[in-house]
Amino acid sequence: MEGIKVESASYSYDNGYTAVDNVSLEVKKGENLAIIGQNGAGKTTLVKMFNGLLRPQKGKIYVDNEDVSTMTVAQISRKVGYVFQNPGDQIFNPTVYDEIAYTPRYFKMEEKQVDAQVRSAAELCNIVGYLKLNPYDLPFSLRKFVTIASVIAMGTEHIILDEPTAGQDLFGLRQQKKIINALIGRGKTVITITHDMEFVADNFSRVVVMADKKIIADRTKREVFWDFEILEKSSIKQLYVSMLAKELGIPNHVISIDEFIDEVNRK
C-alpha cells in the first residue's frame, strides 16, 4: 500500500516515559485526516515516527511499503514532510526565502528549480511579500506559514501539519483550508494535528482520536463528535452546534450550522 502504515508502534523517551503505546494506523496516499486528542496524548510523538525524527522501540513504520528503520532521515525526508508544532524547532535560516529553499537546495535541485519551488510554495501560503525578511521578525501566525511553505517546497507526497491552527485568526484558518485543499488536489497525503474542532468539522471526514498514548477511535467526524465516551476520554469538547442540537432535542447528529438550520426549518 502506498502511504503510511504503523504496526504496533511504541515510543518511550530517554527518561523512560512511554508516550505512544502499541499504536497501529494506516493512511493511504492521497488521504486527508485529522488527529485530535488531549494535550500529552502522544500525537506529536506518533507523527514524528513517520519521518524518522523518532524511531519506535517496538513495532514498525512503513512509508510506501518501505520499512523506515532501514532508511536514513534524509531518505525518509524525500517522502514525508513534517511541519513542526513549534516553528522555533524548525526555522534556522536568516531569511524566509532561504528557509523555504533549504531542502530543495539540500536535494541538489538546480537554483532555477529551487526558485520556482520557493515561489510556488510561498504563493500558496500567501507569504510572497515576506521572502526577504528574517522569519523571526514575523509574528508567530506568519512563521507557521513559513514552516508550511518550507515543507511544501520539499515536494514530498506525504505531508504532516502539527497544530497549524494554533494562534491563527479566521484569515489564517481560511488560508490553511486553501493549502490543504490544494495539496489534496495534487494527490498528496495530508495529516493534520489540531485542537480546533471547528476546523476539524470544516475540513476533514476521517478523524483519529488519541488519548493516553493510544488511538481510541478512527472514525468519521460525525461519529466522533457524537460519541460521548470518546469525547470524555480524550477531553474533547463537543461542537457548540452539536451541543445546541442536543439541548433542543434534535434527534439527528448535527455537526454544522447548515445541518442545524435544516433541522430547525423541518420542525
Ligand X SMILES: Nc1ncnc2c1ncn2[C@@H]1O[C@H](COP(=O)(O)OP(=O)(O)OP(=O)(O)O)[C@@H](O)[C@H]1O
Q: What is the binding site for ligand X (CB under 6 A)?
A: 13, 15, 17, 19, 37, 39-45, 85
Give the one entry of ligand X, Mg ion, none that residue 45 binds, where binding means its C-beta sits below a cut-off of 5 to 8 angstroms depending on kind: ligand X
**Cβ-based nearer residue to ligand X, 13 or 136:** 13
Q: Round to whole Å and give the CA distance between 179 and 106.
A: 24
- The dihedral over CA atoms of 97, 89, 56, 76, expressed in degrees to the nearest 10, equals 10
Chain positions contacting Mg ion, by CB under 5 A: 43-44, 85
Q: Round to whole Å and give the CA distance between 64 and 164.
A: 25
Specify the residue for cell string 433542543.
248
Give the list of residues 6+ apart from residue 33 with CB closer than 8 angstroms, or none.
27, 190, 191, 192, 204, 205, 206, 207, 208
Give the one entry of ligand X, Mg ion, none that residue 15 binds, where binding means its C-beta sits below a cut-off of 5 to 8 angstroms depending on kind: ligand X
**Cβ-based nearer residue to ligand X, 37 or 104:** 37
- In whole angstroms, the minimum distance from the beta carbon of 263 to Mg ion comes to 35
Which residue, 122, 39, 53, 123, is CA-closest to 82? Answer: 53
**Cβ-based nearer residue to ligand X, 19 or 122:** 19
- In whole angstroms, the minimum distance from the beta carbon of 191 to ligand X comes to 13
Give the one entry of Mg ion, ligand X, none that residue 106 binds, where binding means its C-beta sits below a cut-off of 5 to 8 angstroms depending on kind: none
As to burial, measured by CB atoms within 10 angstroms (0-12 exposed, 13-18 middle, 19+ buried), residue 57 is: exposed
- In whole angstroms, the minimum distance from the beta carbon of 86 to Mg ion comes to 9
- In whole angstroms, the minimum distance from the beta carbon of 154 to Mg ion comes to 21
**Cβ-based nearer residue to Mg ion, 85 or 90:** 85
Contact 225, 231 (CB under 8 A): yes
